[in-house]
Structure formats: structure tokens, C-alpha cells
Structure 1
Amino acid sequence: MVDPSRGVLFPSRLTAFQRSAPPQAAEDLVQWFWIPEWDLEPGVMSRQTVLSYPALNLVIEPHGVSLVGTTTRMSERILQGSGWAVGALLRPAAVRTLTSDASSLVDAERPFSAPALHAQVVAAMSAARDRHQQAVDVVARWLSARAGDLPPVARHANLMPEVLIGQGGANTPAEAAARLAVSLRTLQRMTRRYIGVSPAAIIRRRRLQEAAQLVREHPDVSLATIAADLGYADHAHLTGDFRSVLGLTPSDYRTESS
């Protein structure tokens, strides 16, 4: 199972934030929904830092709807004033209905025209009660209607996140291809079509997320031990991965997140 908390680098900095499983009707389309809300004092800023999952997100905010692609780096967002967002971390079966080329959205955010969806989510988030669940239900219904009956190829593509980033995920692209009963070349086409990056990049992201979580949550465990347990060649390899994606070393991250 995919751990939805794994990519949050500084949990103590999060504003009010809710993650929830999708309704049954949207289980084949959404891995989970995420809804942050904030109402900050004038002049106060909240820095949200995430090492995102390799997947596309459909995001609805007061100003509009956007499709956010897979990221190759740590991402930050500065929150000020008040606001909210309703996000859906998409499964491949949903991606196919929203874009024909996920690779064109890597490290990018593109406005998505869905005025009826936007109006309904804004109305739901303005409700006095159960606004989060109402908003989730609106997005789930919209995605289900757009996707219709899923073809076998989409259901097969939906197996990729579990194999590549789930608990006990594959350690190499070749292993992932074998688990999915496809050739390595086919798997490479699938990940670029539905996620935007290579299988190797997805596996590296999972390993770095796991490393960050272990560094943060287990301060008494040596970095060399964490590197060895996760299959890094050595401590230096782990440090290089941290620095290239997060912009800081594991030691600095452990200090900053404590």
C-alpha cells in the first residue's frame, strides 16, 4: 500500500491539512484526496515543503482548476492570508482522460478548463458542514463521469503505482516490468504516458522519500545504516541524492526537521 504521509518533509509546518481515501466509485481513478486550508494572520507566511509522489494531481482552488505534473525536485509553496485547495492524486486510469502526454507536464502546472467542476467545488467548500466530504464527492463524481467504463489497458496501468512506489515496491525497472508481466520497453512507455518520467526515476523518488522519512523519524539511526537498508551504494550516494533533489544533506535535513 502507498503511504500518503511519506512525501511530507516538515509535518510540523503543515497548515490544517486533510488526506482522505476516495469514495468507492473513484477508487480506480484517485489514490487519495488532499485538502489544505489556511487562515493566517497578516504578515505571517507558512512554507509548505513536499517531496511529491510521482503522479499527476488535479487541483481545484478558488481561482480555478489546474493539472499539476510529476515533479523532479522538492517543491515549496508559500501560503499567506486565507485559502484552500482540493487536490486529487490521480491514478493512471484518470490521467488518460485529462491529458495525452503526461511527460509534457513534468515540473509544470497547466490550467484546466472545467467551469462546472470549479463552481461545484467552490460551492461545496463554502458549505457550513461537511465541506471537505462534499468537495471530495463532487470531484469523484466528475472524474467518474469523465472516465466512463475503464478499458483493460487503463486497469493494467493502474497497477504501476503499487509496483513502483508502494510498500515493498520493485528495486529495479526490470523487476517492476516482470511483476507487471510486460517488457521493460513497454513499462517505459507506460510510465512516460501516464506519469511522465522513467521507471528508474519513480523508483529513485520512492527510495528518497523513504530515506527522508527514516532520517526524520529515527534520529538515533546512523545515516550509513539508513543508506545500506535502502539499497544505496554508500552514505555518499545517499547524500548526493539528498543534495540534488532536496538541496541539503541528510544531516542538515535531520537537524532542520527535528
Structure 2
Amino acid sequence: MAAAETGGRRGVLHPEQGASRFTVTTAAPGPRLAPYVEYHWIVRWDVTRRPPYDSKVLSHPNVHLVFEESGPLVYGVIRGVYTRRLTGAGQVHGVRFLPGGFRAFSDGPVQDLVDQVLPGSRFFGPEIEALGPRVLACADTDEMVRLVEDFLPTVPAFRDALPDPQATLAAAVVDEITRDRSLLRVEQVADRFDTSPRTLQRLFAEYVGVSPKWTLRRARLHEAAQRADGDADIDWAALAADLGYADQAHLTRDFTAAVGVSPTRYTRGHRH
């Protein structure tokens, strides 16, 4: 099962600072999970001889199942910056569901999970609690992935799930928004998929959790942060135009609201 050290880093803020403290490994799901799961991710860190480090992530429109020391947890879409304090040494294993892919395991609209962190047993049964320590005890990535891949298909919700064209559509719409920077408005996205903005909003509430407008804005902010991490002397006015903002002020407001610091402060942090 192939894994890559470089995967899963889009959205990680100041990745160059974290590179000496943690690694991110990703692995593709097997065929049984592929309709629901985008990829597995494993973060390993060691700061035993260094101060604690706050790893910050500008989240994506995905639900995650995370095996960590406190137990298996389900993270709904986190609309703000997710901060994880790394101390000592350790690892976590995450399952990133496709946009729409978690709906089969939820007892209600995915929008009900937004900004929530909930016990994994609520969705995957009490048996998942015993699986957590076994996963975290693995030193081998492939073995970790195998344990999770063997367990999830045994969950009743998985066994009972039927192919859901709406979940497939939700994943396709989010993928298109992420890949095509020419899509700037919900109306454009709706036209691309031959539907109405209102229908698209209902689809996202039920299957993705956040709105199409939020997803469009977050895709642009991921691009802005990635570009800033690659160029400390970035021309923010030019980047705002490239990303379809009316002017630099609009990008600055969006970036500050999402990341918590202004673009200029962010790039100063990049330099240090």
C-alpha cells in the first residue's frame, strides 16, 4: 500500500516551521472504502527536547475520524483554524472522508457536525474504542492502515449503505471548486452542474456540512496561504487579482477572518 510523506499538507500553516517537528504520511484507501474515504493520514512528531509546538491547519470541507490518545474521535468540518499542540513524541491516525462520504455513517445532515468533535463510538459502535490503542501501537504505516481498513467495513452503517448518487455529486462539486480557480460564485458552480444555487445549498447542508460559498472562499484561502508559504515577499494585490478578489482589501479581510492574522503578519511569521 503506497504512502507518501508529502501528502496531506495543503492547509497546514507555516509548513516549513513544522517540517522539523512532524511528518505527514498519507495512504490511499482500499477499494471497499474508496467510495467514502479520500485518504488515510498519519502524523508523527517528536519535540521531546524542544518546546511544545502549535501546529495550525486551515481546514478543508471534510469530516475526519481520528485515532488519538484520548480515543477515536470524529471531527466535523472545523470552520476556523484547527490548532493541535504537540508535546513529547507521538502519532495520530486520521481517516479523511470524501466530501459527502461521511453521510452514510451519520444519523442526520452533516451540517449538524460542523465545529463539533464527537466520540467515534457514536458513529462506529463501541468496538472502535478497543481498536484505537491497537492502531496507535503500530510503528508501521501499512499495518495501521490495514487495521482501520479491516474494521470500518464491519460497521453496520457501512454494511447497510447503498450507493448514493448525491454523495458522489457532492464530492465532484467540491473537487471542481478546488481545482478550477475560475469558479468564483455559487451561481457559476450551479451552472457547471446544471442545477440551481438553492439545490446546491441543500446538497451541501446535507452531505458536506458547510455551504458552497464557504467552500469557494476556503479554496481561495488555501491557495493564498500556500503561495505565501512559498514566497515571503509575495505581492498580495497581484495575488488578490489572480484569485478573483475585487481588490486586496477583500482578500485581506477574508484571510484575517479565517487565519486569525493579517496577510502581512502571516508572511512575517513565515520569515521567522
- TM normalised by structure 1 equals 0.88
Report the Cα offset of residue 46 of structure 1: 1.4
- The answer for the alignment partner of 1:140 in structure 2 is 149
Moved more, 20-29 or 6-15: 20-29
Gap change, CA 1:127 and 1:87, over 3 Å in 2: closer
Aligned residue among 201, 212, 231 for 1:199: 212
What are the equivalent positions in structure 2 for 1:65-76 lying under 5 Å apart? 65-76=72-83
Q: Which amino acid aligns with 2:210?
A: V
Report the Cα offset of residue 8 of structure 1: 0.9
Separation (CA, whole Å) in 2 of partners of 1:169 and 1:32: 26
2:100 is aligned with 1:103: no
The answer to whether the Cα contact below 8 Å between 2:9 and 2:24 also exists between their aligned partners in 1 is: no
SS at match of 1:232: coil
Gap change, CA 1:127 and 1:244, over 3 Å in 2: closer
2:19 is aligned with 1:12: no
Report the Cα offset of residue 66 of structure 1: 1.2
What are the equivalent positions in structure 2 for 1:1-258 lying under 5 Å apart? 4-14=8-18, 15-41=22-48, 44-99=51-106, 100-113=108-121, 114-128=125-139, 130=140, 132-145=141-154, 146-147=157-158, 148-168=161-181, 170-258=183-271
Gap change, CA 1:183 and 1:137, over 3 Å in 2: farther
Separation (CA, whole Å) in 1 of partners of 2:47 and 2:119: 26
Report the Cα offset of residue 172 of structure 1: 1.6
Report the Cα offset of residue 191 of structure 1: 0.8
Separation (CA, whole Å) in 2 of partners of 1:180 and 1:111: 35
The answer to whether the Cα contact below 8 Å between 1:121 and 1:135 also exists between their aligned partners in 2 is: no
Separation (CA, whole Å) in 2 of partners of 1:8 and 1:57: 15
**CA deviation vs aligned residue, 1:71-114 (integer Å, no higher than 9, x gap):** 22112111112332111111145311222222222222111214
SS at match of 1:213: helix
Moved more, 209-218 or 177-186: 177-186
Separation (CA, whole Å) in 1 of partners of 2:167 and 2:261: 38
**CA deviation vs aligned residue, 1:144-188 (integer Å, no higher than 9, x gap):** 454344233332233122122235473221222222333221110
- Percent sequence identity is 33
Moved more, 33-42 or 221-230: 33-42
- The answer for the alignment partner of 2:3 in structure 1 is none
The answer to whether the Cα contact below 8 Å between 2:181 and 2:243 also exists between their aligned partners in 1 is: no
SS at match of 2:32: helix
Gap change, CA 1:49 and 1:117, over 3 Å in 2: same
Q: Which runs of 5+ in 1 are unaligned?
A: none
Separation (CA, whole Å) in 1 of partners of 2:173 and 2:150: 24
Separation (CA, whole Å) in 1 of partners of 2:193 and 2:8: 23
- TM normalised by structure 2 equals 0.84
Separation (CA, whole Å) in 1 of partners of 2:41 and 2:127: 20
Moved more, 175-184 or 118-127: 118-127
Q: Which amino acid aligns with 2:208?
A: I
